[in-house]
């Protein structure tokens, strides 16, 4: 069982994508559990403030230490975490290899950043890993957290019914996946490659391997 806590000031933004299709099934089967924690509950004062002006001046608010510290501490009372991950555009770029490693964890916290950023001391003392989903800046860490959670959860054994299908994904062996076809075998004169209809599985596997290499060299030679 993989348990993920996502800490966010916009919990409603996160909930819906986790309640459909494969992730929902994984949850219903008891293989994964994703819990969204509203950081505002830990906000300070009457207005439940979670951010403040930055020391030294400059545009943009900064997320304060205390709400995040108290929130993470509360979670740590309930379980031991393998990783406390901060989603940030200056983190390490997320790849399949990281998803593979994280899918072996038992408990993970994903902290979504907002505003200009978070107080650096949170990163120094509470965060064990920083992840970016790519070299572009989004309005917050919520969409990245969903992407990371999705990529990890589908790798937990049993979440995808046919385990083979996760193993043959693009990137799993530094190759893009080969092309796929389904019925009809011919549409408007567009034909499925004969080899796939031959029933010769040795040849089919060789063809798939060859196409995967070809496609990778063409589209992503850096892999």
Query: Do residues 86 and 127 make contact, with C-beta atoms less than 8 angstroms apart?
Result: yes
* Only segment of 17-25, 66-74, 131-139, 157-165 that touches ligand ADE (CB under 6 A): 131-139
Total residues binding ligand ADE (CB under 6 A) = 12
78-90 as b/e, with b when 16 or more CB fall inside 10 Å? eeebbbbbbbbbe
| Of residues 43 and 113, the one with the C-beta less far from ligand ADE | 113
The C-alpha atoms of residue 223 and residue 171 are separated, in whole angstroms, by 8
The C-alpha atoms of residue 150 and residue 160 are separated, in whole angstroms, by 12
Among 13, 44, 138, 195, binds ligand ADE (CB under 6 A): 138
| Of residues 27 and 129, the one with the C-beta less far from ligand ADE | 129
Confirm or reject binding of residue 8 to ligand ADE (CB under 6 A). no
* Only segment of 77-85, 136-144, 158-166, 177-185 that touches ligand ADE (CB under 6 A): 136-144
| DSSP conformation letters of 134-167 | SSS--S-SHHHHHHHHHHHHTTSTTSSSSHHHHH
Confirm or reject binding of residue 136 to ligand ADE (CB under 6 A). yes
* Only segment of 2-10, 15-23, 26-34, 86-94 that touches ligand ADE (CB under 6 A): 86-94
Tell me the CA end-to-end span of the chain in Å, nearest whole number. 32
Q: Residue 132 CB, nearest distance to ligand ADE (Å)?
A: 4
Binding site for ligand ADE (CB under 6 A): 87-89, 113, 132-134, 136-138, 141, 144
């Amino acid at each position: 069982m993989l348990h993920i806590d996502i800490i966010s000031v916009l919990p409603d933004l996160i909930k819906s994508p986790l309640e459909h299709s494969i992730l929902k099934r994984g949850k219903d089967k008891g293989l994964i559990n994703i819990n969204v924690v509203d950081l505002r509950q830990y906000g300070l004062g009457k207005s439940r403030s979670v951010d403040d002006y930055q020391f030294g001046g400059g545009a943009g608010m900064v997320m304060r230490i205390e709400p995040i510290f108290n929130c993470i501490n509360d979670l740590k009372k309930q379980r031991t975490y393998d990783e406390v991950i901060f989603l940030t555009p200056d983190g390490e770029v997320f790849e399949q290899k990281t998803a593979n490693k994280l899918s072996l964890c038992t408990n993970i916290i994903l902290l979504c950043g907002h505003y200009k950023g978070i107080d650096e001391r949170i990163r120094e003392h509470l965060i064990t890993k920083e992840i970016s989903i790519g070299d572009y800046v989004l309005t917050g860490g919520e969409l990245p957290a969903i992407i990371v959670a999705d990529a990890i959860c589908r790798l937990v054994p049993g979440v995808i019914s046919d385990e083979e299908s996760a193993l043959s994904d693009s990137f799993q062996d530094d190759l893009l996946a080969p092309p796929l076809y389904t019925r009809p075998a011919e549409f408007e004169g567009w034909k499925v490659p004969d080899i796939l209809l031959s029933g010769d599985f040795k040849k089919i596997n060789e063809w798939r391997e060859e196409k995967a290499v070809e496609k990778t060299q063409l589209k992503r030679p850096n892999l």
